[in-house]
Structure 1
Amino acid sequence: MSNYLKFFHFISGFFIALPLYFSVGQSALFIQSPLFMEIAGAGPKSESNLGLMLPLSVVAFLLLFGGMLFRYVTGSVYRFLFACCAFVVFIDVGIAKSSWLVVGLLTLLACSSEIQKYAGSLHCQSHRRFIYRGWYFGLFFVLCGVVLDFLARDLHLISSVADGFVYDGIRSSYGIEIYGFLVSFSAVLSVFSGCLLFVSFAKKKNRVLNLFVFALSVFVITMASRKAAYLDLVFCCILLSFVLFFEVKNQVLRYLIFVFLSFILYSLYYLLDIQRSGFSLSKFWNERSGNYYEFYADLISADVWGVFFGWSSGGLGGYSNLFVDVFVRCGFLGVCVLVAVFCLFFFRVLKVAILSRDIYLICCCIFLCFSFLIGNIVNLNFSLPYFVSCYVVILLSVFYRFRGTGDV
């Protein structure tokens, strides 16, 4: 493999991790500096004329994985017909978003098919380690910028949090605002940090660095105060505690690890509870129940055509639940396509993990499936191109890390 190709893979992976967006409405990169505006005394720019926000990670992602996706779709007549039918089914969510939704679904199927194909010999895909390295370095680069911005601008606000002040400042890296920080970027961080914790305990190589990056990720997630990300980390710590209970023979070490994971959970809960002025399942339901009551009222008043093919059109959003949003716009048929792809994807991934008999890989894949499911029940993660691009890289890198050469 030539050095130029290695460099191309590394840089492309690096750009997939960067949350940079192109504003179609303004035909320019979305560059906004909260630090500069605060110094200048200017208010935030209006986002009403931004138009479609296209993450640059999509371009790098298609350059790297477009060939895999093309081979998968054209490798069978049935797959090609499914791609065409899926686009027709999801056309009601808007041309741009339906196109990405179909690409995302097909990418999941292509990735799971490739994982099955190279399950025992992922070293054949060793050239991709440069993609994973580039992505890891890119995210680490962004995280360092977020922490530096916090230290330079918002550190003094922490003392006010305990008094009931809701901290809502850390959304930039190196002085540039991260568009979608509270949704797509936080979701990517929660998935990444959970997988990184499994890798850190399973593999000794780069353990100190991995734990340091994990700490940075948890810090940013905590400051973002996202409940879905907190659920990801809780589930991850529970799974890891279960694994370590059987894997670690030293009683003292087992106790210390349990205390460490409990401290992480308690700290996250404490900070989230302060940030949100109380955190409970009842409050969470009260925040979302109005959307579901509205959906139920629309459902019972819809005709048969609306139930099967949807009764609304336009972009996704409004219900904070991907399955409900798809049902409203594409009907029962659209939800069936969505659920079928997710189930096939989960089945393939978990099957390969179970056959590997690696308890860490099995639990990591269970966590990936849980995070994916929760993220689309309480949010619209899969409709976000940045999240899907990073999720695919994380998924493939996890399998390569556990089943490949291990040199990532």
Structure 2
Amino acid sequence: MTSPVWHPFTQHGLGEPIPLVTHGEGAALHTSDGRRVIDAISSWWVTTHCHRHPRIMAAIAEQAGRLDQIIFAGWTHEPAETLARGLTAIMPPSLTRVFYSDSGSTAVEVALKMALGFWANRGEPRHRVLVMEHSYHGDTIGAMSVGARSVFNRAYEPLLFDVGTLPFPAGDGQATLDACEAACRAHPAALIVEPLVLGAGGMLFYPPAVLAGLRRICEAHGVLFVADEVMTGWGRTGTLLACEQAGIVPDILCLSKGLTGGAVPLAVTMASEAIFEAHWSADRARMFFHSSSYTANPIACAAGAANLGIWRDEPVLERVASLGRRQEARLAALSGHRAVRNPRTAGTIAAFELGAAEGAYLSELGPRLLAHFRERDLLVRPLGNTIYVMPPYCIDDADLDRVWIDIAEACDRFG
């Protein structure tokens, strides 16, 4: 019987097999036909520590036995309060406010509405948002609007609002900084960036100095700085936040994916006190008009609080550093291959292009690579001809070796 499920980012017309996963453990997934599949991309970048971390699973089970759901408009609950206090303790001190949502896309939507609401409530007509070339911030309308115009959103162009685009940093990034300086003179509302790594845009890296320069320019012109750390947060680039490596703090910070260790959906948008105060009033018309039915779901918040406990009590950054070194060594061993272009690492992320200087999402090589890795029981999902490895932090040497051996085989086969 044909499944009625419509899968995301899947062209069902290709007839590619869709395995049924029954359970996960550590850095692996297990399928209904008995295969053990190494998760080399953290199940779309969400699984940080491991699949089914006992502490997070226990927190979910305990909370499910107490309170499953409650409206969050005008009500609260202990898991949300605990997680919010924990976040303000571990994140930069100036980010004093925590607004809950459901996913990375909604965290970005919230951030954009906060930024526009900030200026509206101050009586200043600032509406334009600046973005970086090749960026990706999600698949809802606002998030698509601040992402690159591409095959991802071409069909929905009539729905998207106009933005100002800065060139992706090349060389020392001075052209990007100059463009930012010029754009900020027109007093836009905000600049939103993916710090250090543009994920879906092709795992494109740029240096911390450029990120610091962008923040400095925005601050000089009074432009709000929004950091989308949905993917880069929670250790992926080697530090808790990628922004740390540039020595900066945004006005608004978007977090999701690893917020619960990747166990259940949850997102937060953290904001400075100034952003909150612009919405604080006895006038109900100035409130922040955003919510969803499942805002701050208690079970998800309990998972998030357990994740913070892991960061507090376990040597997570040591594991991150170890994985980063192991990734770097394995990519270095492959970097001399004739088909490998632009090998690069950032923290636990390793990436390169196979057979071309630049990645192309709809490259004909993409489906062939997917089939190659699927046949070898690997969850590796190239971005066109850009191959990247971003595994859970628990992955051992044997599994990591398997991943890179099969990647080397793909280079021989398709390069």
TM-score normalised over the length of structure 1? 0.25
Give the number of the structure whose residues are more often helix, by fraction.
Answer: 1
Give the number of the structure whose residues are more often strand, by fraction.
Answer: 2
TM-score normalised over the length of structure 2? 0.25
